[in-house]
Amino acid sequence: MAYGILYDYLMGQSIDGFRYFGAHFCKNDKKKKGVMFRLYAPSATDVSVIGEWNNWDPSVDKMNKIDESGIWEVFVPGLKDYQSYKFHFKNAKGKYVDKIDPFAFFSSNRPDTTSKLFDIENFIWHDDQFMKSQTRNFDRPMSIYEVHLGSWKGKVDGRNISYEEIADHLIPYMKELGYTHVECMPLCQYPFDGSWGYQATGFFSIDSRYGNPKQFMSFVDRMHQAGLGVIVDFAPVHFAKDEWALFEYDGTHMFEYSDKQHMFSPWGSCQFDLGKDPVRSFLMSAMNYFACYCHVDGIRVDAVSNLLFWDGNKAIGANTGAIEFLKRLNGKLHYAHPSLMMIAEDSTDFLGVTRPIEYGGIGFDYKWDLGWMNDTLKYYSKDPIYKKYEHNHLTFSMAYFFSENFLLPLSHDEVVHGKGTIINKMWGDYDQKFALLRNLYAYQFSHPGKKLNFMGNELASFDEWDESKSLPWNLRTFPKHDSMTRVVRDLNLIYQNEDAMKVEEHNPIHFNWLMVDNANQSVFAFERRVGNSHLIFIFNMTGNYYERYDVGMTRPGLYEEIFNSDKDVYSGWNQYNGLPIHTENGGPENKPYKMTIKLASFGACIFKYKGE
């Protein structure tokens, strides 16, 4: 079995490398308990494992080369959890170095750079019912709450709170607001806080800032028991260039590109050479580890544009080695975990990112619609006087939406680096910004596609996110800010209860524009219909108020307003439609019927069809 894993690993076909390499608690042939260490380092010689138990003496626990491909191993009896260790060897340059274990399941927190022993077996799960009911959520609601675990609640008495402590607060909050999934920003071990986890050193090590691997398993287990899914962010493009980690691991470019043109990423980190088979196995195994041992429900793959094209630049050309890696990754993980969601953070127009591999695609389940995000935020930032010239920014997304399985993100990338927060991007004075923000969230939930919001978007903070500080929870004591959480809650509830907003949402037959060309007034309307669920969505993008406004309709009958962003419970001006509305014959934009409504300034409303 071991040699089968080894062969597959070297051929770039293994998703189980973590079962063979690294440090595993076990018994040897003499039934002694200890740890089996295995290392893949083809150009290393004179290899030892050094640690607390042998006073970091390289002469004590020498490793044996068991295969000409460069596999080293040694069994050390009597070891315990949390003992620190590293590998010590002479590299290809003739220099003795101390390196972390690339497959370590646990690592010391910075500034300590050692790996730590940890027995990951025998965690008792309580989520069987949840795991059996899981799918990839194609016809289910998926409202994702993106979280940076260290700054959601912030530090307590100067320390990071643990995975379990975060769960104590996060679960009831997510249930209150109606989110279905949490997406954790990268949780692989990383040295620099300011990288947010996107420049990692330990790709199998859970972030020790918040606890050990079983504490994270407990976090996921409790989420699942509460009916909440867990998605982890994973960065397979690059890694931190610290010399004690993966960079020039055995004195050669084991993990990174060897040519200087591609060795370093646009962020200054080292780029994984995804044309190398062992590197492919390494990263596929890392993501599979999170699925197998941590029961995660989805993996969001970061910076896919930099995998599809060299440096993310289409003009330079496609990165065929990385594209093959992505296909292999998605194919193998979907085969091993049929309900696991694979999500691409991709800003390119590369065709077929979410197309199945058997039909020539890359095989992801969902792709972030960054074009929608950019166009939408640009539109909402415009003075209403000029919005008629930007009309296409709100209509263009539906021209391409059905080409991929898109997810609509308002992520952490939009609230950092001087970009301002989401509410800061809205046009207008204080009250107008809140009105437009309510409108924006209604538009995001009404538009086809899964939803993602970064933590704090629901608080309407004017201060950018800072990973070293807690979210400004005191804002909930201010009615305008607190009412924004109610907007999000109510939209999530409608989203969960209406089939028209989630079933077959990537099928164009269920979407129809009712008002698409009214650039002069900047009013939009569309309908979504699945089975008995039929909803009408209307948006006024200017400050003009209409006591009576005609919207063209395709179906006669009675319509009831189930959401209005201008209601006073949302800190609006309460210009809403109370009683159900009957359609009349003859509507604008060549529609056979019309519905006459009250349309608030910057208002967004949702009507539900109630029958003839």
Q: What is the pLDDT of residue 178?
A: 96
Instruction: Give the other-Cβ count within 10 Å of 386's Cβ.
Output: 10
Q: What is the pLDDT of residue 193?
A: 83
Q: Which pLDDT band holds residue 312 (cuts at 50, 70, 90)?
A: confident
Is the pLDDT at 547 greater than 60, yes or no?
A: yes
Please give the Cα distance from 539 to 554 (Å, whole number): 18
* Nearest alpha carbon to residue 433 among 415, 443, 421, 451: 421
Q: What is the pLDDT of residue 3?
A: 62
434-453 residue pLDDT tens: 999 999 999 999 999 999 99
Among 250, 302, 404, 490, the active-site one is 302
Amino acid identity of residue 463, one-letter, is D
Q: Is 345 a catalytic residue?
A: yes
Among 146, 207, 221, 345, the active-site one is 345
Q: Which pLDDT band holds residue 468 (cuts at 50, 70, 90)?
A: confident
Phi and psi dihedrals of 64, rounded to 5? -100, 140
Query: What residues have CB less than 8 Å from 260, skipping those under 6 apart?
Result: none
Strand partners, 75: 36
What proportion of the chain, given as a percentage, has pLDDT over 90? 87
Q: What is the pLDDT of residue 237?
A: 93
346-364 residue pLDDT tens: 999 999 999 999 999 999 9
Instruction: Give the other-Cβ count within 10 Å of 29's Cβ.
Output: 6
Phi and psi dihedrals of 189, rounded to 5? -60, 135
Q: pTM above the 0.75 mark? A: yes
| Preceding amide of 384 cis, omega within 30 | no
Averaged pLDDT score across all residues of the chain: 93
Domains of the chain: 2-116 (2.60.40.10), 145-501 (3.20.20.80), 510-611 (2.60.40.1180)
Amino acid identity of residue 376, one-letter, is T
Residue 583: both structure tokens together: 């359609």
Residue 44 · residue 91 · CB < 8 Å = yes
Q: Which pLDDT band holds residue 67 (cuts at 50, 70, 90)?
A: confident
Residue 310: both structure tokens together: 């060299």
230-283 residue pLDDT tens: 999 999 999 999 899 999 999 999 999 998 888 888 888 899 999 999 999 999
Is the pLDDT at 522 greater than 70, yes or no?
A: yes
509-518 residue pLDDT tens: 999 999 999 9
Q: Is 498 a catalytic residue?
A: no
Q: What is the pLDDT of residue 2?
A: 60
What proportion of the chain, given as a percentage, has pLDDT over 70? 99
Please give the Cα distance from 568 to 551 (Å, whole number): 24
Q: What is the pLDDT of residue 1?
A: 41
Mean pLDDT value of segment 484-489: 96
Residue 447 · residue 395 · CB < 8 Å = no
Q: What is the pLDDT of residue 157?
A: 81
β-bridge pairing 366-368 and 341-344: parallel
